């Protein structure tokens, strides 16, 4: 069978359940409720790439870059050292001119030759635009722009807890070639919450169809081969 080209994320277990990593130069939607680890996983993806010499760009609509640097340091990821080497950069944008953010992202990716990018999160982008229609148009434009570039991109999207569906605006999953869902839910008859990850779709590639358990430790995200038991809302 001919499989499409993939890039290794370097995130323990993720390259196994995706059978080789994320589809190269494509868009991946990473979705889940708050606290599931979307920001940790996105940072880990860029950090691992940068350590191997692949330039990465982080566009954050959620956390300020100083906070992201600080929380990465807790995992032992030295972002400032990579920034100095030009292997990692945070994209600066003007919230009052949010319509320009795509042009800035495109020129930054082209200018630096970045091969990995993260947009975190598309839901927080909603704070800066006037209405849902405008946000949907922006999501489509982001996807169109990124498709032209030689970059593998993770776009995060926040699900509202208890609401069915894997995206907030109902369009995010249609613009992405691949969708990964993170859960943090209570298992049936258990008091504790469990973490679980599902590869929802992976364009042109086989992947695990299991719900896998994962942990966030002092080293970041680690995905297990074991099946997870949770009550999902979707
Ligand atoms: N150093 C750490 N050790 C263990 N768990 C951590 C650490 N840092 C963060 N976490 C876990 O990750 C969660 C936050 O993940 P985050 O990526 O910010 O979520 P999201 O972006 O999906 O809202 C925290 O609630 C905590 O459970
Ligand atoms: Mg986050």
In a domain, 205, yes or no: no
In a domain, 70, yes or no: yes
Secondary structure element (H or E) that encloses residue 30, with its range = strand 27-32
What spacing in Å lies between the alpha carbon of 111 and ligand 1's midpoint? 32
* 38 three-state secondary structure: helix
Instruction: State which residues form the domain around 123.
Output: 23-181
Give the DSSP letter string of 176-217.
-SEEEEEEEEEPTT-SSEEEEEEEEEETTS----S-EEEEEE
Secondary structure element (H or E) that encloses residue 227, with its range = strand 220-227
In a domain, 193, yes or no: no
Q: Is 167 in the pocket of ligand 1 (CB under 6 A)?
A: no
Q: Is 36 in the pocket of ligand 1 (CB under 6 A)?
A: yes
In a domain, 208, yes or no: no
Q: Is 159 in the pocket of ligand 1 (CB under 6 A)?
A: no
Of 198, 18, 180, 14, nearest to 5 by C-alpha is 18
Residue indicated by tokens 């999501």? 139
**pLDDT for 166:** 81
How many other C-beta atoms can be found within 10 angstroms of the C-beta atom of residue 122?
Answer: 25
Ligand 1 binding pocket mutation candidate from 29, 31, 40, 76 (most atoms within 8 A of CB)? 40
**pLDDT for 215:** 97
Atom of ligand 1 lying closest to residue 182 CA: 22
In a domain, 167, yes or no: yes
In a domain, 17, yes or no: no
Give the DSSP letter string of 73-102.
HHTT--HHHHHHTTSEEEPP--GGGGGGHH
**pLDDT for 2:** 64
**pLDDT for 170:** 78
**pLDDT for 95:** 87
Atom of ligand 1 lying closest to residue 40 CA: 17
Atom of ligand 1 lying closest to residue 34 CA: 23
Ligand 1 binding pocket mutation candidate from 35, 36, 68 (most atoms within 8 A of CB)? 35
Beta-carbon contacts of 91 under 8 Å, excluding residues fewer than 6 positions away, are 57, 58, 59, 60, 101, 104, 105, 108
**pLDDT for 129:** 86
Of the ligands numbered here, which is closest to the C-alpha atom of 31?
1
Q: What is the CATH number of the domain that holds 136?
A: 3.40.50.300
**What are residue 217's phi and psi, to 5 degrees?**
-120, -170
In a domain, 200, yes or no: no
What spacing in Å lies between the alpha carbon of 2 and ligand 2's midpoint? 35
pLDDT averaged per 10 residues in sequence order, the chain, 234 residues:
86 98 96 96 98 98 96 98 98 90 95 97 88 88 92 94 81 88 84 92 95 97 92 62
Q: Is 220 in the pocket of ligand 1 (CB under 6 A)?
A: no
Beta bridge partners of 56: 88, 116
Q: Is 165 in the pocket of ligand 1 (CB under 6 A)?
A: no
Ligand 1 binding pocket mutation candidate from 33, 121, 216, 221 (most atoms within 8 A of CB)? 216
In the chain, how many domains are there?
1
**pLDDT for 118:** 98
* 58 three-state secondary structure: strand
In a domain, 36, yes or no: yes
């Amino acid at each position: 069978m001919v499989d499409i080209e993939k890039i290794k994320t370097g995130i323990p277990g993720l390259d196994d359940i995706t059978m080789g990593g994320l589809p190269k130069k494509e868009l991946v939607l990473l979705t889940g409720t708050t606290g599931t680890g979307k920001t940790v996983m996105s940072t880990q993806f860029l950090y691992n790439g940068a350590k191997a010499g692949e330039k990465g760009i982080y566009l954050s609509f959620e956390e300020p870059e100083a906070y992201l640097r600080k929380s990465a340091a807790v995992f032992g990821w030295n972002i400032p050292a990579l920034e100095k080497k030009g292997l990692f950069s945070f994209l600066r944008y003007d919230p009052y001119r949010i319509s320009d953010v795509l042009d800035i992202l495109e020129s930054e990716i082209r200018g630096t030759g970045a091969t990995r990018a993260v947009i975190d999160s598309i839901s927080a982008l909603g704070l800066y635009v006037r209405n849902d229609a405008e946000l949907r148009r922006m999501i489509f434009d982001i996807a169109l722009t990124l498709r032209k570039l030689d970059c593998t991109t993770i776009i995060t999207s926040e699900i509202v807890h208890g609401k069915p569906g894997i995206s907030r605006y109902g369009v995010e999953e249609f613009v992405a070639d691949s969708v990964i869902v993170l859960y943090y839910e209570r298992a049936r008859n258990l008091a504790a919450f469990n973490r679980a990850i599902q590869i929802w779709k992976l364009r042109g590639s086989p992947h695990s169809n299991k719900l896998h358990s994962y942990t966030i430790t002092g080293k970041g995200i680690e995905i297990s081969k074991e099946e997870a038991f949770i009550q999902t809302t979707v």
